[in-house]
Homo-oligomer: A and B are copies of this chain.
Amino acid sequence: MDPVVRLRGAVALIGRFPALSGADLAVLPGEVVSVVGANGAGKTTLLRVLAGLTPVRSGEAVVLGVDLRQDAPAVRRRVGLLGHAPSLYDELTARENVSFALRAAGLGTERVERSLARVGIGGRLASTRAGALSAGQRRRVALATLVGRAPELWLLDEPHASLDTGARDLVADLITEATAQGAAVVFTSHEPEAALAMSDRQADMAGGRVTELRPGARGPRLTTVEGDSHVA
């Protein structure tokens, strides 16, 4: 089967700086790839390129069979990105944010409550304005939109950052479920060992390129411990 992601010598500029300086990467359906590397290695840029948000200057970049340089918008509709700063409307409640995202993706709103519950944003929190939520809660809400949208390619930038211990397993479970449904996942991390355990392959990045690819230690892990994702 043809890969979900195929980058060959992809170059992407931020301003005039080649944040991505010729990256090569291939991701197969149902695969989980973790990206590790020093600060400034180009991980975020890589994810934003794959999300179709940062334009590719040169090289080959095909995502979900679509050439990014031809039709980035088409890609955006099918991938889901969780960035360093989750993109929420501060004035809207968590619930409204999720339902807006889902309806924007052409989906019904029946999944909203389930998605929110899944990430442990229930009751009062669901109707609190996003601007008032805590760092971790905001990330949970952002995750909820992904859960609801169920994209074909999940792009998670440091998914564990500012999530509490309970939610760490949540992330692992979400990834497992996504792949179980045939989606691919690319996530960045600053904990190589932990990441390795969660991924089929791990990419080292440095100087805007993928410098090494090593096999990961991920076994099939489909049991989800109920009650993991509660918020105190």
Contacts and interface: CB of A to CB of B under 8 A. Distances in A.
A39 B140 contact: yes
Contact of A165 (B40, B140, B161, B192): B192
A228 to B, nearest CB: 11
Nearest to A17: B132
A136 B41 CA distance: 10
A39 B134 contact: yes
B37 A232 contact: yes
A74 interface: no
Interface string A103-115: 0000000000000
Interface in A82-133: 84-85, 125, 132-133
A215 interface: no
The range of chain A's interface size is 35 or more
A34 interface: no
A150 interface: no
Contacts of A133: 40
B162 A38 contact: no
A3 interface: no
B192 A40 contact: no
9 contacts: A39-B134, A39-B140, A39-B162, A39-B164, A39-B167, A84-B162, A161-B161, A165-B192, A206-B232
Q: Which 9 residue pairs spanning A and B have beta carbons closest together?
A: A39-B136, A38-B232, A40-B134, A38-B164, A206-B232, A84-B135, A161-B161, A39-B164, A41-B232
